[in-house]
Structure 1
Amino acid sequence: MFLSLESVSVQYPRSTARRAAVEAVSLGLKAGQIGVLIGPSGCGKTSLLRAVAGLERCHAGRIVMDGRALGDAAAGVHLAPEARRIGMVFQDYALFPHLSVADNVAFGVAHLPRAERQARVQTMLDLVGLAHAARRAPHELSGGQQQRIALARALAPQPQLLLLDEPFSSLDADLRETLAQELRAILKASGTTALFVTHDQFEAFALGDVIGVMHQGRLEQWDDAYTLYHRPATRFVAGFIGHGVFTPAQIVACAHGPCVHTPLGELNDLDECPLPAAFPDGHCDVLLRADDIVHDDASPVKACIERKAFRGSEFLYTLRLASGERVMAHVPSHHDHQVGEWIGIRAEVDHVVTFARATGAD
């Protein structure tokens, strides 16, 4: 691995919290990969990023990049941020308003000979598609363009690793996914290894080769987006990623093998699902995502629409079964049913995911 975090913990000295800000996190990034840390506010993702940058010391564990220890709590190693060859892009861009776009990009390579410095700036501006704005002031550019200039400035010194802390948080929601895709293309074109922090799932999915979900200082899962969505490792990941609910179910031995009895009928496709013995009497909770539920007027299973949210091409319905359980469903927007109406639904679950029956609040 190019970047390796081994049981890293971060503890703020004056913190009154009962737990560490980051607790025993291990992950790895190959050269050229883009990793994303996602989770709710206060989960520790920014603290972990700051530890990689050298802005926080490791309370325990070690951080290794390209075979070199950046931080090792047991050995007392803590490389200063400026000695790590790591670039950072912040939420507020931190562009110098009195300098032109080109001079902002040149700031981190001022030590280079003039001709080499100018060539490097031109290369970076070409990479982010803003060569035409070289002589303009940052305030004359849009928010998205300013973010790309901040990225060009961070890449100009050719860092071994780029860290990005919620760089799109101040931008309009409509821009974020597009900019995330642009950022991914830029990072891939430059061959840059990067670690990105966000709370936005769409940004994470658009950017990351591998995504880590954090919760209460711990890394719950470090995987590609498809696996996070379809094979969540923990109940928290299952609830945090995507739209879905947990429904009481029972895994039983059927004639054709194990199956899951649910309020919506029997589910099969249990290739990676636990056997009935994994839970007491097979009783468990099954994850039903909104795209697992299909609107079908011919289905004998009926559900009442409790809430509906228009998403353009589809509605997100919150539905209540006659037995009282609730599920969610993505329904094409031309199926415009009213709140309180009963509609037919059926389950089409390609990946059956089960967890131990909840004993309290999720």
Structure 2
Amino acid sequence: MNTSNPDTVSNAVDRKFCVAPMLDWTDRHYRYFARLISKNAVLYTEMITTGALIHGDRDRYLQFNTQESPLALQLGGSNPDELSVCAKMAEDLGYDEVNLNVGCPSDRVQNNMIGACLMGHPELVAECIDAMQNTVSIPVTVKHRIGIDDQDSYEELHHFVKTIAETGCSTFIVHARKAILQGLSPKENRDIPPLKYDVAYQLKKDFPPLEIIVNGGIKTIDECLGHTEHLDGVMVGREAYQNPWLLNQVDQALYGESESSLTRQQVLEAMLPYIEEEMKKGTYLGHITRHILGIFHSMPGGRKFRRYISENAHKPGATIDVLKNALAIVTSEQAAALEAQTISQN
């Protein structure tokens, strides 16, 4: 077992702000789009099982654009040998981190000993992490819940983290809800179990050398800043997808960068060459545009922008003109709103 001191672990990934792995959402098209808005946010793939990589189309699953970095691959699995093989694939392709999913509550993954059920087997998780760390030099991290079912005491969580940390693993991403594996759907598990951020705070107090990142229910930059007073970083999921312009504040607020000068329109214009290139390869327009629907969230013209793309991107023969037309609609709506505001002020 790797006995390196977490104090001395080299960790080049700055996780003050991370975008959570989300099935069917954080694919490579979304990640390219997100990177145009924030250059520092750490992006995570959807969870990919070891079986899919070893026995399936690994090139399709692992494909990414180099501009997406810093980028982490999230793996689902519980076989140390298989996980180490997949971690090596990630390192060889240029991923910056490998993350083990110990938080997904679905029945399908439970049956294969993947996800949150592994919280009941900390020694196995440690064996998996150790095998990956002994295979790759990039960081190997864990994303987990604060408990499962009746195994939800702080003592059990403390034992889980301590057991994994003894491998030399130094980064723990804590979804601050327990998972109820019997009786709740994956969707219900994202909302019904109460958030307990204080549990993540306590882990940081008990394990000061570890990097503790909190996940769950975070919606604003102010909330992010509040958590970073106690912890090393935050991971945001649904809000970063449904309201992607949130990412526009990340570089300045959490990484000390100068304020971004890009507008929403400029970000979408920067997407055009990427979309055109992808469509030449046979990518369906709607597979990309579905990720950008929320960029004008709560803005004049935002609903019309969303509706126009939703109604037209899926049509046979749809071209990049769908996005250009949608941009023209929202630009016109915003100009009209500004004119109306000016008149009212006068």
| TM category, shorter | 0.3 to 0.5
**Which structure has the bigger radius of gyration?**
1
Q: TM-score, normalised by structure 1?
A: 0.32
Instruction: Answer 1 or 2: which has greater helix percent.
Output: 2
Instruction: Answer 1 or 2: which has greater strand percent.
Output: 1
Q: TM-score, normalised by structure 2?
A: 0.33
